[in-house]
Amino acid sequence: MKNKRDLIEALIGTAILCIMSYLSRFIIPLFGLVVVTGIAFPLIWAKVKKDWASIGFTRKSIGRAFIWGFVSGAVIFIYLLFDGFKSMPVFTDMLTIKLAVNIPAWILIVAPFQEFFFRGWLQTKFQKSTGKWPGFVIASVIFTLWHYLPAFEGSATSNISIYSVAGFFTILAFGFIWGFVYLISNNNIIAPWISHTMAGIVAVVIGKWSMLQISP
């Protein structure tokens, strides 16, 4: 064990977020606090510690991070685009308006609250305490399992199917992809942030996710 303190902090942080996320099934507004925590907690942590690199905010390997982010994002985008058209989309009306609302949401809220916490803060903690590759695997698995705590499927914003074998392995694969691009970019948060945002945008395009539902 390389750093016991980092491991303990990672486990406590994970437990708190998971408990809050599960309770949001019964107290829906609580999920807003989960989102705020996912964004604010790592930022406050880095500010207090005066170590922004500890959550992936670094200029190190920034070019590589952009490349890995866009390349992995493009692969996921194409996969989801073709897979999504196998079924009838739900949120296809007024797509331009929905993209105008949802693209900023994914860039500024949805992708950051997951990536800042699970990659920037949590994966870094596990890498420091268990090793680079074990930390990457542990954080990716936790990221996958966390998706089953809040009420994602069938919510007002999402009709993404996660309660299936294919759904589970899709989330697991994406978790490993985003964890890998973070790791391979020398822990630069830009890579998974871009990739995750691109995945979110295609989810809007194929009608699987939208913060805005408009009847024509």
What's the pLDDT score for residue 93?
Answer: 62
Task: Tell me: pLDDT of 208 over 80.
Answer: no
Its domain, for residue 18, covers 4-205
- The residue among 23 and 90 whose pLDDT is bigger is 23
What's the pLDDT score for residue 216?
Answer: 46
Task: Tell me: pLDDT of 6 over 60.
Answer: yes
What's the pLDDT score for residue 156?
Answer: 54
- d(CA 19, CA 15) in angstroms, rounded, equals 6
- Domain-located, residue 212: no
- Domain-located, residue 211: no
- Domain-located, residue 148: yes
Q: What is the pLDDT of residues 69-117, one digit of tens each?
A: 999 999 999 998 887 655 555 445 677 888 888 899 999 999 999 999 9
Nearest to 194 by CA among 38, 65, 79: 65
Global pTM? 0.91
Q: What is the pLDDT of residues 55-64, one digit of tens each?
A: 999 999 999 9
Number of domains in the chain: 1
- The residue among 215 and 57 whose pLDDT is bigger is 57
Structure tokens at 135: 């930390």
The residues near 95 (Cβ < 8 Å, ≥ 6 apart) are 204, 205
**Is residue 204 classed as helix, strand or coil in its secondary structure?**
helix
Q: What is the pLDDT of residues 132-186, one digit of tens each?
A: 999 999 999 999 999 999 987 655 566 667 888 988 999 999 999 999 999 999 9
- Domain-located, residue 159: yes
- Domain-located, residue 216: no
- Domain-located, residue 213: no
Task: Tell me: pLDDT of 213 over 60.
Answer: no
Q: How far is CA 132 from CA 26, 55, 142, 175, in A?
A: 37, 15, 16, 16
Residue 29 pLDDT grade (very low, low, confident, very high; cuts 50, 70, 90): very high
What's the pLDDT score for residue 51?
Answer: 96
Q: How far apart are the first and last CA of the chain?
A: 58
- Domain-located, residue 91: yes
Task: Tell me: pLDDT of 211 over 50.
Answer: yes
What's the pLDDT score for residue 104?
Answer: 94
**What does the mean pLDDT of the chain come to?**
89
- Domain-located, residue 210: no
